[in-house]
């Protein structure tokens, strides 16, 4: 496989709450602007995404979301447990700040996994700034998805889930036998451990969370771009701590999108699905793997059904990523960029 196009420009953009956002550009400066949104929350900005837009025709823009990657302050720094400046609304505002900073009128927005949730939130908030949307491994981070990926999918991986749940039962009051509506959710138990004062427990929770990520996401061709689990002989680092903190923070709050669509007249609690009509007329391609057991295709199907004119591609042989999905991604972006 050829090397991704090189970075041609980069910088740090000050935004709200003392955050500074790291951004990069590649491709052609006067090409069609594209924006790439990484997964997580808290994921890495890896160079491979630059292969998925035509370098000779696109101005490829990407960033590390606040608290992640090269952006500062890092959510994984020791003692960095105050995440009050971390909501989806903050991330959407950061994207608008970056667009204005770079002088972009409108761009094609690409999102992978959690990045697809953020892409939808941004597009619903600023449809006039979006030329098209490409979503890969589609999520909306609604409560149904979060409870499935943290608890329901444990039915497929009972050995891994028992180990994952045991730490929360011992240290955070989670009770796997409690089925009441007001029970403590496992994701909330982990959020509390990861933002607590006991640094040893923080690292133990981060290690357990990253091991669970690998357990449920690996089925199907491709899987994650990089493994998450921390080897037993290796200490938990800033990346793992920040990833686990940000994921549990956003997921425990259902992605901060539970009432996202309310300002546009949808029913409370309808989330991103209730705001899809705002994307009518915007080209959209949703690419999802049938074998993505941690993120069932139901979400992609529902979003496609609520998005007039969108295209849904379900790749039967792959899961949460894979070469066929990447091929569809490249083709979709190339079509949107045009000749």
Identify the residue whose tokens are 């025709």. 57
Q: Is 311 exposed, middle or buried (0-12, 13-18, 19+ CB in 10 A)?
A: middle
Q: Which two tokens stand for residue 194?
A: 């990861």
**Set 292, 294, 310, 328: catalytic member:** 292
**Residues 149, 265: Cα–Cα separation, whole Å:** 29
Residue 100, number of CB atoms within 10 A of its CB: 11
User: Any catalytic annotation for residue 175?
Assistant: no
Which H helix or E strand runs over 123?
helix 114-125
**Set 22, 249, 320, 328: catalytic member:** 320
Q: Which two tokens stand for residue 150?
A: 């943290």
Q: Is 44 exposed, middle or buried (0-12, 13-18, 19+ CB in 10 A)?
A: middle
**Residues 314, 291: Cα–Cα separation, whole Å:** 10
User: Any catalytic annotation for residue 228?
Assistant: no
**Set 113, 116, 294, 310: catalytic member:** 113
Please report, to the nearest 10 degrees, the dihedral formed by the alpha carbons of residues 90, 92, 97, 101 taken in order: 140
User: Any catalytic annotation for residue 294?
Assistant: no
Q: Which two tokens stand for residue 50?
A: 């630059």
- Beta strand pairing status for 284-289 and 311-315? parallel
Helices and strands, number each (H, E), in the chain: 9, 8
Q: Provide the annotated active-site residues.
A: 113, 292, 320
């Amino acid at each position: 496989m050829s090397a991704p196009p090189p970075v041609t420009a980069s910088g740090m953009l000050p935004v709200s709450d003392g955050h500074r956002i790291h951004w990069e550009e590649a491709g052609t400066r006067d090409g069609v602007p594209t924006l790439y949104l990484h997964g997580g929350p808290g994921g890495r900005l890896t160079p491979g995404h630059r292969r998925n837009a035509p370098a000779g025709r696109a101005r490829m823009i990407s960033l590390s979301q606040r608290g992640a990657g090269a952006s500062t302050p890092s959510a994984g720094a020791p003692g960095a447990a105050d995440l009050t400046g971390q909501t989806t609304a903050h991330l959407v505002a950061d994207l608008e700040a970056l667009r204005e900073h770079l002088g972009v009128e409108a761009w094609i927005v690409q999102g992978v996994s959690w990045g697809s949730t953020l892409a939808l939130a941004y597009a619903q908030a600023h449809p006039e700034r979006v030329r098209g949307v490409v979503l890969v491994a589609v999520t909306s981070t609604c409560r149904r998805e979060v409870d499935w990926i943290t608890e329901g999918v444990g039915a497929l991986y009972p050995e891994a889930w028992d180990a994952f749940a045991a730490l929360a039962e011992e240290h955070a009051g989670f009770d796997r036998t409690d089925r009441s509506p007001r029970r403590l959710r496992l994701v909330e138990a982990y959020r509390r451990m990861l933002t607590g004062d006991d640094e040893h427990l923080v690292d133990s929770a981060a290690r357990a969370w990253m091991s669970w990520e690998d357990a449920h996401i690996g089925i199907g061709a491709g899987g994650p771009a990089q493994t998450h689990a921390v080897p037993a002989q290796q200490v938990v680092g800033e990346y793992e701590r920040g990833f686990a903190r940000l994921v549990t923070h956003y997921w425990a709050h259902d992605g901060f999108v539970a009432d996202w669509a309310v300002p546009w007249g949808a029913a409370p609690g309808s989330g991103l699905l209730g705001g899809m009509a705002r994307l009518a007329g915007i080209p959209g391609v949703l690419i999802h793997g049938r074998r993505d057991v941690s993120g069932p295709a139901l979400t992609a199907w529902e979003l496609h059904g609520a998005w007039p004119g969108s295209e849904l591609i379900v790749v039967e042989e792959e899961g949460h990523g894979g070469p066929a999905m990447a091929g569809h991604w490249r083709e979709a972006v190339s079509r949107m960029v045009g000749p």
